């Protein structure tokens, strides 16, 4: 399946329509989000974004004007823009350290990058860029090419800052998308699918019935491609009404929804 076939797929369009409709519209059932020590009730995706909460702490050196600690969407956006600028320069190690610390996925990811020099790091990003562009231009089909570059939750965060409209795909974003697909379709799609990266929490919190975990690099990359195109298309539909919603906005809202997908049951009762 190529890019054109994916965006024209009937079930794919149904998911786009549902997410776009519930950006400003309403879920069939409101959701209770745990924000710090508070419980907030929301009934739309925009409401979820407005209550975004992700506590982070950056240990890498920052310039004056940047907060080492934060939890708001605005603070995260500022830190990620700073990291993006570093990733696009020969200070790529600093940028990588910041985005990985922000996402809580430093572990082996930073060590892998520290073993590369700048040209080697740029080459890794270039290969990801070529595959992303190739799919967008219908030159590469889903799951056909071997993936000769690294991809996991940490590298998805790095690529999201270096590839245009490429979203972060981690267990929470994947959980929200697959839960929405299950709610809207009542099953896994016929012609495409998403897999969920192995969560650190109980599997029932993150993986809906009929969806599988990521087991290979190709499965991770393919799922990240599909999710990125899905969010792109959602933004196009929302912005027909001059909303000016970014892929980062939708991604962040999905991330907040994915903490516990059991809470999403019933958001689309009218199947």
Q: What are 78-91's pLDDT values in tens digits?
A: 999 999 999 999 99
Q: What is the mean pLDDT of the chain?
A: 93
Give first-to-last CA distance, the chain, whole Å.
Answer: 26
Rounded distance between C-alpha atoms, residue 224 and residue 14, angstroms: 19
Rounded distance between C-alpha atoms, residue 144 and residue 219, angstroms: 11
| 185, 218 Cβ separation under 8 angstroms | no
Instruction: Using a pLDDT cut of 70, give the percent of the chain over it.
Output: 99
Q: What are 125-179's pLDDT values in tens digits?
A: 999 999 999 999 999 999 887 899 999 999 999 999 999 999 999 999 999 999 9
What is the pLDDT averaged over residues 61-69? 83
What is the pLDDT averaged over residues 37-62? 93
| 30, 41 Cβ separation under 8 angstroms | yes
Q: What are 240-258's pLDDT values in tens digits?
A: 987 899 999 999 999 999 9
Q: What are 203-235's pLDDT values in tens digits?
A: 778 888 889 999 999 999 999 999 999 999 999
Rounded distance between C-alpha atoms, residue 232 and residue 88, angstroms: 23
Cross-strand pairs, 93: none
What is the pLDDT averaged over residues 190-202? 88
Q: What is the predicted pLDDT for the residue at 270?
A: 58
Helical H segments across 88-193, by residue range: 92-103, 107-114, 118-136, 153-160, 171-185
Query: 69: helix, coil or strand?
Result: strand
Enter the pTM of the model. Answer: 0.95
Name, in order, each residue with C-beta under 8 angstroms of 15's C-beta and a sequence gap of 6 or more: 177, 180, 181, 184, 185, 230
- The answer, yes or no, to whether residue 60 has pLDDT greater than 90, is no
């Amino acid at each position: 399946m190529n890019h054109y076939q994916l965006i024209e797929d009937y079930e794919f369009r149904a998911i786009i329509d549902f997410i776009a409709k519930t950006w400003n519209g309403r879920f069939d059932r409101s959701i209770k989000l745990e924000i710090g020590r508070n419980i907030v009730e929301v009934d739309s995706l925009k409401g979820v974004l407005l209550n975004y909460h992700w506590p982070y702490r950056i240990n890498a050196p920052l310039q004056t004007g940047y907060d080492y600690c934060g939890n708001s969407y605005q603070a995260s956006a500022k830190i990620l823009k700073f990291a993006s600028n570093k990733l696009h320069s020969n200070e790529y190690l600093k940028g990588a350290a910041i985005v990985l610390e922000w996402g809580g996925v430093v572990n082996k990811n930073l060590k892998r990058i520290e073993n590369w020099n700048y040209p080697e790091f740029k080459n890794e990003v270039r290969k990801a860029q070529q595959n992303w562009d190739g799919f967008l231009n219908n030159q590469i089909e889903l799951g056909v090419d071997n993936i000769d570059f690294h991809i996991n939750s940490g590298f998805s965060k790095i690529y999201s800052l270096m590839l245009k409209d490429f979203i972060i795909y981690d267990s929470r974003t994947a959980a929200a998308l697959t839960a929405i697909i299950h709610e809207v379709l009542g099953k896994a799609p016929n012609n495409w699918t998403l897999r969920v990266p192995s969560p650190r929490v109980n599997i029932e919190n993150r993986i809906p019935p009929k969806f599988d975990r990521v087991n290979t690099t190709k499965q991770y990359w393919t799922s990240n491609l599909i999710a990125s195109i899905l969010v792109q298309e959602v933004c196009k539909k929302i912005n027909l009404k001059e909303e000016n919603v970014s892929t980062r906005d939708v991604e962040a809202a999905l991330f907040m929804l994915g903490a516990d997908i059991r809470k999403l049951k019933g958001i689309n009762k009218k199947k």
